[in-house]
Structure 1
Amino acid sequence: MKTKIAIVSNVVATQMMVEALNQRAHGVPGIGLIYGDPGLGKTTATAWLVNRCDGIYIRATSGMTLAQLLRQIVKELSGPDIYTREAMLNYIIEHMAIHNRPLFIDEADYLLNDKNTLEIVRDIHDLTNCPVVLIGMESVRRKLQRHRQFYNRISEWLEFQPTQREDLQIIVNAVIEPTLTIQDDLLSQLLSDTDGEVRRIITGLSKIEAFAMANGLTSIDLQQWGSKEFFLKKA
């Protein structure tokens, strides 16, 4: 399989959302929210966009403390070792403001249990005027409503949608070698079985390509694929 980003509808919408944050009118807050079910490609789309806009990408983890979050941001800014939270915050605010680099925090659900951490993220936004984008699960929008001061600063939001048939063909063109043709009936079955989850689609396409190569096929349809599974299903 080829390693290439598929510019599907969700990716285009992500780019448009961040452009809207960068070009927002004076006085409009610059916090964005990307949310949706797992496996829809949120992290992949964000990583692609971060590289294009020289953004700062942070992946929150379970149990991440405020100090750990600040330290990761300083590291992404190529900053020195700093040992106090106040000094780290000052460094982040100064350097983000100078270079106007947007901040992306993936797996943001992990931060919602610590009000102080959210307040610091809000401070970074307010004091730098740089876009801040949170990426999380479908429930993150509802959970953020408990934090009114933060929630009211969200001016752009995007719910990732399951892959549609047109997007599936874009994914196929991006990752499958051009020497292999996957017929429509097999692609339709793959889309149905995966419920449009990009992660499972990629897994299924990998299985299809491997099977075709092992059997010397340059074209494969549903009959040739048979009843094999595209991915590990629930027992």
Structure 2
Amino acid sequence: MTQSSQTNNTLAPLRNVLAFRTMLQRLDDRSAGLAGMGCFYGPAGFGKTMASIYCANQRGACLVQCESTWTVKTLCHVILEELGIKPARTTPEMSRQIQQALAMENIPLIVDEADFLVTKKSVEILRDIYEKSGVPVILVGEEALPAKLRRWERIHSRMLERVAAEPLDDEDFGHLKRIRCGDIELSGELEAAIKTASRGSARLMVNNLDTARQRARVLGKDRLALSDMGSVRMHDGTAPELRRFG
């Protein structure tokens, strides 16, 4: 496989992947004495998780995605499982295991859906891990995450980078189209409709491109126009209207 085709089939060129990778590199290369925490934030669907997974794999970082039911103990347990370490019995012991493992191998920690930790007032554990390990710790969450973190001054003051995920642009659309619909030609009118419906959301854009690919398969076409979509509804992030019967 050529270098060009490798690039076309990865998420590397997407603007939010590049932004996340640049932030992680900045934290990795920071000068002595600088804080080492970061925050990557933005609306749902902008590709934050996609970017964090890609960059975690490239850098060899430890990535965990929080859930609404998690406690601090659950978080520590999952991080240790991700690191391949048998968790100790208590939360303080597990925290020390994490700190030592991350520091020893210089492994950054990326915590997705960090809003759940903030809501449960459990986010201080991440500062503990950062302080004792010295590795970059990045929190990934929704648009309001940086504002929410102001309540925790000891975390807020340790943020070296706060990077906002941006809406996908035309270049991002072209790259995703090559990945998702590389064997199908889309008319300019259909491409414009997909961009409008997607509103810069990576999730909606991928859904709409996949819908177009499936429609082309059903029709047996390798070129698709907007009129070919018929009654197929574009993903635009809105719920269907309430139906009324009788």
Aligned counterpart, 2:152? 147
Per-residue Cα deviation, 1:125-183 (whole angstroms, up to 9, x for no partner) = 1111100000000011111111111001110111111111121001101222x321112
SS of 2:123's equivalent? helix
CA distance in structure 1 between the aligned counterparts of 2:184 and 2:146, rounded to whole angstroms: 41
What is the deviation of 1:203?
1.1
What is the deviation of 1:118?
2.1
Where do 4+ consecutive residues of structure 1 move more than 4 Å? none
What is the deviation of 1:185?
1.8
Aligned counterpart, 2:209? 205
CA distance in structure 2 between the aligned counterparts of 1:185 and 1:42, rounded to whole angstroms: 28
What is the deviation of 1:58?
1.0
State yes or no: 1:42 paired with 2:63: no
1:165 to 170, 177, 183: 170
Larger RCO (alpha carbons 8 Å, 6+ apart): 1
Aligned counterpart, 1:56? 62
Once the two structures are overlaid, the 10-residue window that deviates more, 97-106 or 212-221, is 212-221
* One-letter amino acid of the structure 1 residue matched with residue 226 of structure 2: L
What is the deviation of 1:228?
2.9
CA distance in structure 1 between the aligned counterparts of 2:125 and 2:211, rounded to whole angstroms: 45
Quick check: 2:197–2:235 contact (8 Å CA) kept in 1?
A: no
CA distance in structure 1 between the aligned counterparts of 2:16 and 2:83, rounded to whole angstroms: 28
Aligned counterpart, 1:191? 195
SS of 1:69's equivalent? helix
What is the deviation of 1:69?
0.8
CA distance in structure 1 between the aligned counterparts of 2:85 and 2:159, rounded to whole angstroms: 28
Equivalences, count: 231
Once the two structures are overlaid, the 10-residue window that deviates more, 131-140 or 200-209, is 200-209
What is the deviation of 1:222?
2.0
* One-letter amino acid of the structure 2 residue matched with residue 190 of structure 1: I
Please give the root-mean-square deviation of Cα atoms over the aligned residues, in Å: 1.6
State yes or no: 1:31 paired with 2:43: no
Normalised to the residue count of structure 1, the TM-score between the two structures is 0.93
Unaligned runs of 5+ in 2: 1-8, 242-246
* One-letter amino acid of the structure 2 residue matched with residue 230 of structure 1: M
Quick check: 2:44–2:142 contact (8 Å CA) kept in 1?
A: yes
Once the two structures are overlaid, the 10-residue window that deviates more, 157-166 or 223-232, is 223-232
Unaligned runs of 5+ in 1: none
